Structure 1
């Protein structure tokens, strides 16, 4: 699993074996390359990152290092390494975070508030804590947010963006290609929610253990019909009889 604890290993490996370069990057050379591209970093800080003495770089630092090393920024969080030309995200971090707030939430509850998300992340504690006010700053495009790695991991995990190994897919914030694929899935989720299927499924979970095979078959047929027809006004008798 690649997360903030292995950021050092990823960076060190990329410095030792940089794509498209015959020899390794020293810390001084990499700092110079970052600064030549308009970034701002010191060789001392790169040394701390490579040794794991610092493990929570900002989004801007990750993007600057990726540009200098010739990789996709998502490489640092377990995503793809190959770079698609100009890897500057076409959507800002705040735009992507706002999209998650709008698209992902429990059907019986409605959209999360910054307080909800801050409380959940801070209670879990895996990636430290975060305040509701800071989340509001991250959501505000006018603040030009520059979140740190652990907050990106925590937010991805909270909204259920996880890979096959269960690790948070913070690459959603760093990779346009992956973000487009996830956004397409979220669009499908919205269609199901608008048709009442998501709410229906949540109710099914509460009752299905007591259902007979015939009633389960009827539930599947009802869901399939609603999805295929696009009908938004449909009813399945969750408390009904299968006789």
Structure 2
């Protein structure tokens, strides 16, 4: 596995040392392999991708290259390399994105709107900009969207799907196994939010710096008792000394 996780570096390394193949792939050979599997990528475009001259391939391009190289599509964004049978995600991109909109949002407000997400992503600018109308297209259940890599990275980052290195886990959209693990964590978060725990914790963080030692002790006791008993009313007087 390469140290540089840029798309260009990963693709170039896989072409030089393809899994299960004794010799490297030339750009022409890889383009032919993609075509043989029903895809359509030119050797010239592959050359640009390997050199980093083009760095924003589409979801379909990533899946086609992964199939020809016999790796999981997530390999291109820091995910697993090993392939498990048919690796095109069984859950569609719109289904995964809709789940993020439904499950991930600040405790003090409701779910993000496409306008919220577009504004935040565009203001950050790390992966360029995106419009609210395009996000709606990506969310549409009947659509067959073909988002580009930078939009997948931006959306993953917006919903807090980041690794220890701070890089967005766009692999969520490319690896059903990883998506299932993340969704299980999100289900736990939803249960805590529905029980009022997330909002309660946010209020604790907001007020704790003004508390006396005695109030902090009472807070710890209240939280501990509630967790042990299953209590979900969370009525501890956070604003009182």
The reply to whether TM is greater than 0.5 is: yes
Q: Please tell me whether the aligned partners of residues 4 and 55 of structure 1 are also in contact (alpha carbons under 8 angstroms).
A: no
Identify if the C-alpha distance between structure 1 residues 115 and 3 changes in structure 2 by more than 3 Å, giving closer, same or farther: farther
Q: Please tell me whether the aligned partners of residues 2 and 78 of structure 1 are also in contact (alpha carbons under 8 angstroms).
A: no
Q: Tell me the distance in 2 between the aligned counterparts of 1:37 and 1:118.
A: 35
How far the C-alpha of 1:59 sits from its partner, in A, is: 0.5
Q: Please tell me whether the aligned partners of residues 89 and 174 of structure 1 are also in contact (alpha carbons under 8 angstroms).
A: yes
Identify if the C-alpha distance between structure 1 residues 207 and 45 changes in structure 2 by more than 3 Å, giving closer, same or farther: same
Q: Tell me the SS of whatever aligns to 1:142.
A: coil
Q: Tell me the distance in 2 between the aligned counterparts of 1:117 and 1:3.
A: 31
How far the C-alpha of 1:214 sits from its partner, in A, is: 3.5
Aligned pair count? Answer: 239
Give deviations 1:69-104, integer Å, cap 9, x for gaps.
011111100111111111111211110100100011
Structure 2: tracts of 5 or more residues without a match: none
Identify if the C-alpha distance between structure 1 residues 3 and 137 changes in structure 2 by more than 3 Å, giving closer, same or farther: farther
Q: Please tell me whether the aligned partners of residues 96 and 173 of structure 2 are also in contact (alpha carbons under 8 angstroms).
A: yes
Identify if the C-alpha distance between structure 1 residues 224 and 59 changes in structure 2 by more than 3 Å, giving closer, same or farther: farther
Give deviations 1:119-142, integer Å, cap 9, x for gaps.
000011110000000000000121
Give deviations 1:24-52, integer Å, cap 9, x for gaps.
00111101111111111111111111111
Give deviations 1:193-216, integer Å, cap 9, x for gaps.
010011111111110112234423
How far the C-alpha of 1:109 sits from its partner, in A, is: 1.4
Identify if the C-alpha distance between structure 1 residues 177 and 214 changes in structure 2 by more than 3 Å, giving closer, same or farther: farther
Q: Please tell me whether the aligned partners of residues 2 and 13 of structure 2 are also in contact (alpha carbons under 8 angstroms).
A: no
Structure 2 partner of 1:20:
20
Q: Please tell me whether the aligned partners of residues 118 and 129 of structure 1 are also in contact (alpha carbons under 8 angstroms).
A: yes
Q: Please tell me whether the aligned partners of residues 5 and 55 of structure 1 are also in contact (alpha carbons under 8 angstroms).
A: no
In the TM superposition, structure 1's runs of 4+ consecutive aligned residues that sit over 2 Å from their partners are 1-5, 212-234
Q: Please tell me whether the aligned partners of residues 4 and 77 of structure 1 are also in contact (alpha carbons under 8 angstroms).
A: no
Identify if the C-alpha distance between structure 1 residues 214 and 114 changes in structure 2 by more than 3 Å, giving closer, same or farther: same
Identify if the C-alpha distance between structure 1 residues 14 and 2 changes in structure 2 by more than 3 Å, giving closer, same or farther: closer
TM-score by length of 1: 0.93
How far the C-alpha of 1:110 sits from its partner, in A, is: 1.0
TM-score by length of 2: 0.94
Identify if the C-alpha distance between structure 1 residues 2 and 154 changes in structure 2 by more than 3 Å, giving closer, same or farther: farther
Q: Tell me the SS of whatever aligns to 1:5.
A: coil
Q: Please tell me whether the aligned partners of residues 200 and 234 of structure 2 are also in contact (alpha carbons under 8 angstroms).
A: no
Identify if the C-alpha distance between structure 1 residues 191 and 220 changes in structure 2 by more than 3 Å, giving closer, same or farther: farther
Q: Tell me the distance in 1 between the aligned counterparts of 2:145 and 2:228.
A: 41
How far the C-alpha of 1:4 sits from its partner, in A, is: 11
Identify if the C-alpha distance between structure 1 residues 150 and 38 changes in structure 2 by more than 3 Å, giving closer, same or farther: same
Structure 1 partner of 2:129:
129
Q: Please tell me whether the aligned partners of residues 58 and 147 of structure 2 are also in contact (alpha carbons under 8 angstroms).
A: yes
Q: Does 1:165 align with 2:195?
A: no
Identify if the C-alpha distance between structure 1 residues 3 and 214 changes in structure 2 by more than 3 Å, giving closer, same or farther: farther
